[in-house]
Amino acid sequence: MAHRQYSDHMETPKPQRTPQSADKYVLRLPDGMRDKLAALAKANDRSMNAEIVRLLQQGMDAPAQDTPSGIDADALANTIAERVVARLKEGS
Q: What's the pLDDT tens digit per position in 29-57?
A: 899 999 999 999 999 999 999 999 999 88
Give residue 24's pLDDT.
85
Q: What's the pLDDT tens digit per position in 60-75?
A: 887 665 556 677 778 8
Q: What is the mean pLDDT of the chain?
A: 79
Distances in whole angstroms, Cα of residue 89 to Cα of each of 81, 82, 83, 85, 92: 12, 11, 10, 6, 5
- Report helix, strand or coil for 1: coil
**With a threshold of 0.85, does the pTM exceed it?**
no
